[in-house]
Structure 1
Amino acid sequence: MPGESLELRISFKRLLIGLLVTVVPISLAGIYAITRSDRELRHTVGTHFKIFAEATAWEVGEFVHERVLETGKMAASNAVVEAVMAANRVWEGMSEAAVADRIKRVEDSWAGAASELIVRQILSSPAAVELRKYRDLDPRFLRMTVTDARGATVAATHKTLDYFQADEEYWQAIYAQGRGAVSVTDILYDDVTKANYIGIGVPVLEPGTNRFIGTLDALVDVSSLFRIVNQAHPPLNLRTSLLKDDGTLIASPEATLQANLKSPEWLAVQDALATIAGRQTGHLVTDVPNMGRRLIGFADTGLKDDYQKLGWVVLVSQDAREAFASIRLVGRLTAFLAAVGLALVTLFVVYFSLHRRVVYEPLKEAVAASPAKQPEQLPTAGTNN
């Protein structure tokens, strides 16, 4: 009839079965998804840390490569090449003994007034003027020295400690037994300029033949390199460090190279850096002494492939609880919803069991206790009522 409303009735038992079939699998699937997604999300966060470390390592590498290229341009300049070739012509026709004797006489008088004339010539030569122009354009170049094929100083931005450079380790590295090679030192400290620097040495080559004819050595201030590391990712509260390949801190928020400290995270990552799989993963979670459990991303600068003394590594780390805070919140929320679903189903099952026992058991007992009802007999034909 029009006035009647549609009423849908479902038995409690069927409702309970429906909940068991739907809610329980969904809740179990949610719990399984939590465990699986938690691992995946942790891996994703760790990969982000690896990317941060790689980005900083790339900047560090570019800093060094660019300074090497600039030093090479200086060594190829006309003023430097001409000065070196002119100095080498002085030795032509002289015996090795005469060359050694002349170099020794200048070297012996280098620290005294007797060397003032030759020092003035070296510092005022066109090549020295050219070097000072480069230094004025880029103050990161602290000092530059040019020598000839014998190791005698030809031009410089300053008076060097010695006139003869061929007995120095850095010069031999550039000379490379006459082949000529690029040489970069590890970070050192210059007492004169009060700055941390790397020494970049490049060969001066003869135009047309590329034959070794001399050297150019530059001391490059690396304080801007420290700023690259210390200013990396500050909004994210990440601890970024630049290390030597023995774990010594070059730059970090808490320490400088002068402190000569070892990174507390180094012991945790050095084994991973030693394997291809570890380098490819690029991150790990580990307990660090005095720092607690931390997520660490790491990346090799790759400088050692070109410069043997620069086995530098970048680490990016953060407290693990802070790093995985967002994952932990989502996981807990999902687990809570799954637990609520299972709890509701459990309550329904308990309620159904109790309700059935309270309602139906007394009815069964009442039916069992009542006498059986006899069926009525119908009157037969011919019988009076």
Structure 2
Amino acid sequence: MLALLVMAPAVFLADFSVARANDFEQQIEAYAPKVKAWLSDPAVIDAVKAQNAENANLTQADIDKLDTEWRAETSASDKPLIDKVLGRDLSKFLRQKADETEGLITEVFVMDDKGLNVGQSDVTSDYWQGDEDKWQKTFLVGASAMHLSEVELDESTQTYQSQLSLPIVDADGSTVIGAVTVGLNVELLE
């Protein structure tokens, strides 16, 4: 009997390793309106619009250089670019939103119109998301887009998560100005 109890968690976790986002699609889609509700907050809209204006003239070479700098900083003791982003009011807002979920949100980050991080709850492995589905299948698609990733084990949190990505829309309701990605611990979805 004890052997069965010891094996049960391993079997449970093994099931998650083969799960796909579709296995939790209904629960994630049901959660999406909660995220959308705080995406219209001025803390989000104003920060994205400010970074869009600041980065309007960046070339792809500039973006690649920033991304390389970010990646190097993730393992460095001096992290000026990372500290700049994590110190923003938007990052504090996103950490608060994640904290309020008591573990359901494992990470959240907001991207500008080039796919660069504007704010985030935790450090991401890279600064430029513009070459990834989370940005391409939301920002480039339009105001009603939604992208769900497959369920994966997140090494940093040791949780099985799926990423919900949505466009960020300006106050006019139709102009896409950025995107957000929210990591959701699928074990805590209702």
SS of 1:110's equivalent in the other structure is helix
Higher relative contact order (CA 8 A, sep 6+): 2
Structure 1 counterpart of 2:104: 140
Q: Is 1:130 aligned to residue 90 of structure 2? A: no
For the 8 Å contact 1:144–1:217, the answer to whether it is kept is yes
For the 8 Å contact 1:198–1:222, the answer to whether it is kept is yes
* 1:233-272 alpha-carbon deviations (Å, 9 max, x no partner): xxxxxxxxxxxxxxxxxxxxxxxxxxxxxxxxxxxxxxxx
Structure 1 counterpart of 2:34: 70
Q: Is 1:217 aligned to residue 178 of structure 2? A: no
What amino acid does structure 2 have at the position aligned with 1:194? Q
Return closer, same or farther for 1:197/1:106 CA change in 2, 3 Å cut-off. Answer: same
TM-score (structure 1 length as normaliser) = 0.40
For the 8 Å contact 1:151–1:171, the answer to whether it is kept is yes
Return closer, same or farther for 1:112/1:212 CA change in 2, 3 Å cut-off. Answer: same
Alpha-carbon distance in structure 1 between the residues aligned to 2:30 and 2:158 = 23
Structure 1 counterpart of 2:15: none
Structure 1 counterpart of 2:84: 121
| 4+ aligned runs moved over 6 Å, structure 1 | none
Structure 2 counterpart of 1:174: 138
| Pairing partner for 1:107 from 41, 64, 67 | 67
Structure 2 counterpart of 1:5: none
For the 8 Å contact 2:28–2:164, the answer to whether it is kept is no
TM-score (structure 2 length as normaliser) = 0.77
What amino acid does structure 2 have at the position aligned with 1:119? I
For the pair shown, which has the larger CA radius of gyration, 1 or 2? Answer: 1
SS of 1:175's equivalent in the other structure is coil
What amino acid does structure 2 have at the position aligned with 1:66? A
Instruction: Please list every run of 5 or more consecutive structure 2 residues that lacks an aligned counterpart in the other structure.
Output: 1-23
Structure 1 counterpart of 2:161: 197
Shift, 1:206, TM fit: 1.1
Normalized per residue, the structure richer in helix is 1
Shift, 1:131, TM fit: 0.7
Alpha-carbon distance in structure 2 between the residues aligned to 1:169 and 1:222 = 20
For the 8 Å contact 1:75–1:203, the answer to whether it is kept is no
Shift, 1:104, TM fit: 1.6
Alpha-carbon distance in structure 2 between the residues aligned to 1:180 and 1:127 = 23
| Pairing partner for 1:150 from 114, 137, 142 | 114
Return closer, same or farther for 1:158/1:83 CA change in 2, 3 Å cut-off. Answer: same
SS of 1:174's equivalent in the other structure is coil
What amino acid does structure 2 have at the position aligned with 1:109? E
The total of aligned residue pairs comes to 163
- The two structures, once aligned, show a CA RMSD in angstroms of 2.1
Alpha-carbon distance in structure 1 between the residues aligned to 2:127 and 2:25 = 33
Alpha-carbon distance in structure 2 between the residues aligned to 1:144 and 1:196 = 15
1:201-350 map, 5 Å: 201-225=165-189
* 1:116-154 alpha-carbon deviations (Å, 9 max, x no partner): 212111111111111111111102000001110110111
Identity of aligned residues (%): 21
Return closer, same or farther for 1:61/1:172 CA change in 2, 3 Å cut-off. Answer: closer
